[in-house]
């Protein structure tokens, strides 16, 4: 692997973490004039058009890759495939609605920190439902992540039962987003044994857009001002830039290194939130974050690293390019959803 690939992979992974970290900040600025369902509907519409009209990054890489070493799995029955696609579509759509709704009640950094519970639930679901292996380093990662969550929210845990209904509702939405994302992830893991990532997303994105159409209010787009319009465009284009950069980074850099960088997304949210508060204090009010909460955010990142990178450390070699048969890494390295 050349020095140029190392630098390019690092920059692309940092770009992914930056865009994912900035996403809740853009969403928060749009929510006063547009409900979360309409925002998510618009994002899925843009993603559906993109996934069908624009060639997927790395498609030529997959066709040029050598054949899988293991024999292909048995054909997936049509009824089971439809059921799994329905679960994946409902899970991803609900995840986006819950996460974007929670931004109205929690800070951007709090939303990203709470979202890290999704990989934990996905890991546990993989162990108990899909009978996957559970490595000791992953157990350490789970313990660190849970401890980090408690540390980060240490001054606000009392608000859950202390009468602050907005904070409690935001936490409920964030936790629900993590739960349904894990459901989506489990269905996606099974589907990826039989289908390519692009073919799955070509079903999920349009179906999510169609499913949310009766609940969306497209007229809300006319109410956004210039700044909110820019934030809305950023939220819609986030898929194209972040996912494209992530996929490209995976193709030229080690998956474990990409995962390690992407796991720092909550820290990007925390830093960007502080910078925007310094520049626009009225538009972006900042919750007081003590040293214990900052330490908790760092511990959460370490836990996410243990969960995502741990299994790769047990591989004898980390290939420069991901193998054709290993399709899961594009979607689950770093514990992130593809959108």
**311 is written with which tokens?**
């299994």
Residue range 93-119: average pLDDT? Answer: 93
Cα–Cα distance for residue pair 320/226, rounded to 1 Å = 43
User: Residue with structure tokens 């853009």?
Assistant: 26
pLDDT digits (tens, 9 = 90+) for 184-239: 999 999 998 898 888 898 999 999 999 999 999 999 999 999 999 999 999 999 97
Give me the pLDDT at residue 235, please: 96
> What pLDDT, on the 0 to 100 scale, is given for residue 261?
86
- The reported pLDDT for the residue numbered 259 is 80
Residue with tokens 């692009």: 198
pLDDT digits (tens, 9 = 90+) for 132-146: 888 888 899 999 999
Question: To the nearest whole number, what is the mean pLDDT of the chain?
Answer: 84
Please name which of 183, 294, 310 lies closest in space to residue 259, comparing C-alpha atoms.
Answer: 310
- The CB density around residue 281, as the number of other CB atoms within 10 Å, is 10
Q: CA of 129: how far to CAs of 92, 163, 309, 311, in Å?
A: 19, 37, 21, 18
Mean pLDDT of the region 150-165: 78
DSSP category for residue 66: P
pLDDT in tens, 265-277: 999 999 999 898 8
What confidence category does residue 329 fall into, taking pLDDT thresholds of 50, 70 and 90?
very low
Average pLDDT over residues 307-325: 57
Over residues 97-110, the mean pLDDT reads 94
pLDDT at 306: 86
pLDDT tens sequence across 35-75:
999 999 999 999 999 989 876 544 443 444 454 455 666 77
Q: How confident is the model at residue 157 (pLDDT cuts 50, 70, 90)?
A: confident
DSSP string, 182-246: HHHHHHHHHHTTTS-HHHHHHHHHHHHHHHHGGG--GGGGGG--HHHHHHHHHHHHHIIIIIHHH
End-to-end CA distance of the chain: 29
> Mean pLDDT over residues 282-307, rounded?
85
**Nearest in space to 330 (alpha carbons), one of 191, 234, 209:** 191
Domain spans, the chain: 9-57+76-332
How confident is the model at residue 69, as a pLDDT? Answer: 54
The band of 314, judged by pLDDT with boundaries at 50, 70 and 90, is low
Computed over its alpha carbons, how large is the radius of gyration of the chain? 19
What gap in Å lies between CA 56 and CA 42, rounded to an integer? 20
pLDDT at 101 over 70: yes
Asked if pLDDT for residue 333 goes beyond 80, the answer is: no
Q: What is the pLDDT of residues 13-36, one digit of tens each?
A: 899 999 999 999 999 999 999 999
Give helix then strand counts, H and E, for the chain: 15, 0
The answer for residues whose C-beta is within 8 angstroms of residue 285's C-beta and 6 or more apart is: 277
C-beta of residue 267 within 8 angstroms of C-beta of residue 112: no
pLDDT > 70 in the chain, percent: 83
**pLDDT category of residue 81 using cuts at 50, 70 and 90:** very high
pLDDT of 331 over the 80 cut: no
Q: Residue 202's pLDDT is what?
A: 92
What is the pTM assigned to this prediction? 0.84
pLDDT recorded at residue 321: 45
What mean pLDDT do residues 255-262 have? 80
pLDDT band at 285; cut points 50, 70, 90 = confident
CA 15 from centre of chain:
14
């Amino acid at each position: 692997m050349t020095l140029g690939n190392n630098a390019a992979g690092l920059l692309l992974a940092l770009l992914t973490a930056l865009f994912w970290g900035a996403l809740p900040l853009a969403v928060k600025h749009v929510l006063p004039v547009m409900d979360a369902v309409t925002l998510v509907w618009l994002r899925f519409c843009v993603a559906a058009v993109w996934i069908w009209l624009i060639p997927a990054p790395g498609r030529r890489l997959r066709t040029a890759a050598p054949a899988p070493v293991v024999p292909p799995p048995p054909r997936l029955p049509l009824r089971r495939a439809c059921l799994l696609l329905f679960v994946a579509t409902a899970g991803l759509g609900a995840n986006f609605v819950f996460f974007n709704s929670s931004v109205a009640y929690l800070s951007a950094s709090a939303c990203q920190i709470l979202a890290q519970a999704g990989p934990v639930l996905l890991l546990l679901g993989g162990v108990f439902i899909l009978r996957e292996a559970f490595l000791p380093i992953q157990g350490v990662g789970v313990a660190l992540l849970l401890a980090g969550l408690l540390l980060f929210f240490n001054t606000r845990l009392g608000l859950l039962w202390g009468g602050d209904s907005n904070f409690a509702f935001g936490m409920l939405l964030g936790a629900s987003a993590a739960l349904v994302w894990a459901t989506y992830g489990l269905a996606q893991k099974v589907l990826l044994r039989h289908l390519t990532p692009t073919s799955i997303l070509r079903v999920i994105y349009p179906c999510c857009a169609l499913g949310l159409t009766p609940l969306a209010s497209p007229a809300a787009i006319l109410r956004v001002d210039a700044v909110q319009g820019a934030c809305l465009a950023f939220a819609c284009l986030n898929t194209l830039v972040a996912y494209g950069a992530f996929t490209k980074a995976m193709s030229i850099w080690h998956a474990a290194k990409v995962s390690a960088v992407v796991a720092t997304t909550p820290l990007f949210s925390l830093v960007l939130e502080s910078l925007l508060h310094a520049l626009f204090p009225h538009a972006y009010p900042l919750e007081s974050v003590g040293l214990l909460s900052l330490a908790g955010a760092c511990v959460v990142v370490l836990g996410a690293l243990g969960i995502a990178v741990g299994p790769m450390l047990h591989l004898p070699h980390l290939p420069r390019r991901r193998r054709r048969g290993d399709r899961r890494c594009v979607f689950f390295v770093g514990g992130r959803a593809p959108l």
